[in-house]
Chains A and B, each alone.
Chain A
Amino acid sequence: MTPGKLSLAVRSVAQHISIIDIHGDVTGAADSALTDAYTSASTSSTIILNFTALEYMNSSGIGLLVTLLIRAQRQGQRLLAFGLTEHYRDIFELTRLNEAITLFNIESDVLESLNISRI
């Protein structure tokens, strides 16, 4: 994928649970795409961010995640994530985002914690 490009896909894995699959770079340029994806998933009470195909995330991208988190909290939604590399896990810990977005290694771990089997 070309650097700076991002594609997002939203899929529902159970009632009121959606996964946003992130492919590419989460930077300041991802603002509208991320907002659109969140809006598509906004009927869910639990939104899971799939970072398995994340290539690069910078401080502006972290800022967007914080904005997303603020919206989710206002809507009473839960935000979870999986697939982060060790480096980005470190960054989530440094920024304490891991305290607001529960992290899992892989998708099945998240689904297991939610007591649902993969569709």
Chain B
Amino acid sequence: MSVLTVPLRKLIRRNPAPASVRAVETRSASVLSAVEILPNDPLYSLCLSASGVIDLETLRLESDAVRQLRTAGIRLLIPLVNQGELVGMIQLGARMSDQEYTSDDLRLLGNLAPQAAAALRVAHLAYQQQVEARRRERLDQELRVAGIIQQTLLPKAVPSIDGWQFAAYWQPARTVGGDFYDFVPLQDGRLMIVIGDVTDKGVPAALVMASTRTILRAAAERLISPGEILRRANDVLHPDMPPKMFVTCLCAVLDPHTGRMQYANAGHNASLQRTCDGVIELRARGMPLGLMPGMTYEEKETILAPEDTVFMYSDGLVEAHDSERDMFGMKRLETLIGEHRGGDALIAYLRDALFNFTGAEWEQEDDVTFVVVQRHMQPSADPESGDGDSTVLDEFESPSEPGGERAVMERVARAVSAVDFPPARIERLKTAVAETVMNAMEHGNHYRADLPIKVRVQADARRLSVFVTDQGGDVPISQAPTPDLEAKLAGTQSARGWGLFLIKAMVDDLHVSATPTDHTVQLVFHLAGAHDAK
């Protein structure tokens, strides 16, 4: 008996039209030539409707395929039909013994057909899945590469400018995203800071983001006014912007010498400025980029005083939802920014607040981006700090061990005797130093003997500073509730938790800064004659 089978590749065509069915040769010497049955041939329809074996000798059908099959010596056809689809066919020539097919042969072939059809279908589906998996893998790989390329379009590092601290956070909802930020040094020494958000997410948004960033940078080469930069970028972007897409963008130009920041806004979330008097919104009117040609952008300005922070963000932060579908919201953000002292530690603080709000199971809905700009209270940049020439009175390390604060406290007190520090305030300084050192050793370095804390005592004409650095990194100081003795006595508050309260009460000013590895607390005491001592 000669057996012809249908090639599988015919069965996996993506074309929804019925596949033509063609036999292929096997390596056996008794295999006959392959005959293809096209979907428009009447035999194709007959195969779909026939049950069992079709005898070509007795078949009365006007069909090219039937003629070709007969010419090829085919005697019997056994269509392999599964779920209404012709998935294959067995074509048999004459028996090699030259005898006729018996009724047993026909019954056997008839019984074999549905099983063979089902097996072919399974093989077909498995093959399709393999192909689909390979296609997805290739797409995933392409997306990963796109994500890497997109990251190269973001600044590799934040600017390093004396007296200023910059920090940024970018987390796309998918492998690539439409949010972006940029820092561009301008020719006159100022710095352009940009944050933007392209409508939509994924690859289309990423492509528009890339071109917007390039256009903004090109505009900044010739223009130094944020409103003009946005106007120019809008005019260039608009003709080529895909339908239903646009870009919200905030552009600020900062003069690091004066703290003056000009800004214009193309429909982006207004940035927030944290000042000593509270948090204010920096609003300016303007349409998103790419929506309409010929737009102009209102330009405003603010001054960043020492210790002020400007926070820029995308809507992925304020529009994040928790499991109850409540939104993170502006009010919460303003409160958090008002509570924090700013700097790059603010990034971790807000990120933690966001994750605490959304919960561990959060599926990020939108890209999330923050940019933080903070003016430092550094001696060189601080008009309050007198002539800016400070003297280091002592600088040392101390092992982190329980009770270790006592020796540090005494050593700092000895160092301070070199300046005109009122003896009545020494005890306050000692308590502040001891509490700060204790926090650093316990919470920053976890009393690890191999992690010493660093202490620097310095003074200028107007103030004395004690810097205590631990290696706890960029972790915000835990905000213990303000101690309340009545609550403690009633058992609703822990008996402990007095440390930060005492420190704040002992010093004239307190600053916290952090790098990814270090955490520094600066205790400030105004010196006699410069300030009314507490």
A63 contacts across to B, CB distance below 8 A = 494-498
> Considering the chains assembled together, what is the distance between the CA atoms of A86 and B438 in angstroms?
23
A76-90 interface with B by 8 A CB criterion: 85-87, 90
B402 at the interface (CB under 8 A from A): yes
- Given A58-B434, A100-B489, A87:B496 Cβ within 8 A: no
Total interface residues on A, using CB and 8 Å?
Answer: 29
Question: Which residue from chain B places its CB closest to the CB of A85 in the assembled complex?
Answer: B427
CA distance A50 to B268 in the complex (A): 64
Chain A residues, Cβ within 8 Å of B491: 70
Closest to B427 in A: A87
Instruction: Write the nearest CB–CB distance from B276 to chain A, whole angstroms.
Output: 23
Q: Does A43 contact B (CB under 8 A)?
A: no
Q: Do residues B405 and A29 form an inter-chain contact, with CB atoms below 8 A?
A: no
Contact at B485–A66, with CB atoms within 8 Å?
yes
Stretch at the interface among A8-16, A32-40, A91-99, A103-111: A91-99
A73-B495 Cα distance, complex, nearest whole Å: 14
Taken together as a complex, chains A and B put the C-alpha atoms of A27 and B434 apart, in Å, by: 11
CA A68 to CA B483, docked complex, whole Å: 17
Point out the residues of chain A lying under 8 angstroms from B402, CB to CB.
28-29
The reply to whether B495 and A70 contact each other, CB–CB distance below 8 Å, is yes
The one of A3, A67, A87, A90 in contact with B407, judged by C-beta atoms closer than 8 angstroms, is A3
Are A58 and B405 in contact, CB atoms less than 8 angstroms apart? yes
Q: Are B403 and A59 in contact (CB under 8 A)?
A: no
Interface residues of B in 414-436 (CB under 8 A from A): 427-428, 431, 434-435
User: In the bound complex, what is the Cα–Cα distance between A97 and B486 (angstroms)?
Assistant: 10
- Say whether A58 contacts B435, CB under 8 Å: yes
Give Cα A69 to B405, complex, Å: 26
**Cβ contact within 8 Å between B485 and A59:** no
Min C-beta distance of B41 to chain A, whole Å: 93
Determine the chain A residues whose CB is within 8 A of the CB of B494 once the complex forms: 63
Contact of A60 among B409, B485, B496, B505 (CB under 8 A): B496
Q: A3-B403, A59-B498, A66-B485 are in contact. Are A94 and B505 (CB under 8 A)?
A: yes
Distance in angstroms from B479 CB to nearest chain A CB is: 16
- The answer to whether A69 and B435 touch across the interface, beta carbons within 8 angstroms, is no
Cβ contact within 8 Å between B502 and A27: no
CB-CB < 8 A to A54: which residues of B? none
Please give me the residue from chain A that is nearest to B493 by CB atom: A66
Known: A70-B495, A99-B485. A94 touches B403 (CB 8 A): no
Which of the residues A58, A95, A97 comes within 8 Å of B438, measured between beta carbons? A58
> Do A66 and B505 have beta carbons less than 8 Å apart?
no
Q: Are B406 and A67 in touch, CB under 8 angstroms?
A: no
* B95 adjacent to chain A (CB < 8 Å): no
Contact check, A67 vs B502: say whether CB atoms are below 8 A apart.
no
Q: Which residues of A contact B (CB under 8 A)?
A: 3-4, 25, 27-29, 56, 58-60, 62-64, 66-67, 69-70, 73, 85-87, 90-91, 94-97, 99-100
A-B contact sample (13 more), CB < 8 A, given A28-B402, A63-B496, A63-B498: A3-B407, A58-B431, A58-B435, A62-B498, A62-B502, A70-B488, A70-B489, A70-B495, A87-B427, A90-B428, A91-B431, A96-B485, A99-B485
Can you list 24 contacts pairing A with B, beta carbon distance less than 8 Å?
A: A3-B407, A27-B403, A28-B402, A29-B403, A56-B409, A58-B435, A59-B496, A59-B499, A60-B438, A62-B502, A63-B494, A63-B497, A66-B485, A66-B488, A70-B489, A70-B491, A70-B495, A90-B428, A91-B431, A94-B502, A95-B485, A95-B501, A97-B485, A100-B485
Interfacial residues, chain B to chain A (CB-CB below 8 A): 402-403, 405-407, 409-410, 427-428, 431, 434-435, 438, 483, 485, 488-489, 491, 494-499, 501-502, 505
What are the 9 closest A-B residue pairs judged by CB atoms, nearest first?
A87-B427, A63-B496, A59-B498, A66-B495, A59-B499, A4-B403, A3-B406, A96-B485, A67-B495
